[in-house]
Amino acid sequence: MHIHQVSILVRDYDEAIAFFTGPLGFELVEDSPATAGSGSDKRWVVVRPPGADTGILLARAEGEAQEAVVGRQAAGRVGFFLRVADADEAYARMTAQGVEFLEPLRPEPYGRVAVFLDVAGNRWDLLGPPPTD
């Protein structure tokens, strides 16, 4: 058993695809036309880190209730965690590509960490490996 996908509400599919496949380096797994439960047109857009099994469904917000939580899916807390092999390299690359970090990398017992915002405004932890003794 494993988590296959999680969804993130976004304002615009193409803007979200560009963010996840650009600065974050994710793969675009699927981008297919679909129909929402309301009958409106939508797209089934899935991205994921290279080599990962779990994908992120980029879901365009529909209606006032969904639009109200774009960027606040975790109520202002960090709700997503991106583990990388080299936090310094990822931080420098992502910063150079315009990703907004709310703080510099800092050491924690579980690894080097810095909080950044995704294209929708959700908070993520960029996590490097834990220190080795």
| Mean pLDDT, rounded, for 60-82 | 94
* Secondary structure of residue 8 in the 3-state scheme: strand
What pLDDT is attached to residue 36? 74
pTM for the full predicted model = 0.92
Q: For the residues of 58-101, what is the DSSP string, one character each?
A: EEE--HHHHHHHTT-TTTTSEEEEEE-S-HHHHHHHHHHTT--B
- Tell me the CATH number of domain 71-133, given options 3.40.50.300, 3.30.720.110, 3.40.50.720, 1.10.1240.10: 3.30.720.110
Find how far residue 99's CA is from the centre of its chain: 11
Q: Is it the case that residue 133 has pLDDT exceeding 70?
A: no
Q: How many Å separate Cα 115 from the centre of its chain? A: 12
Which fold does the domain 1-70 belong to in CATH? Answer: 2,3-Dihydroxybiphenyl 1,2-Dioxygenase; domain 1 (3.10.180)
Domain ranges, ordered by start, for the chain: 1-70, 71-133
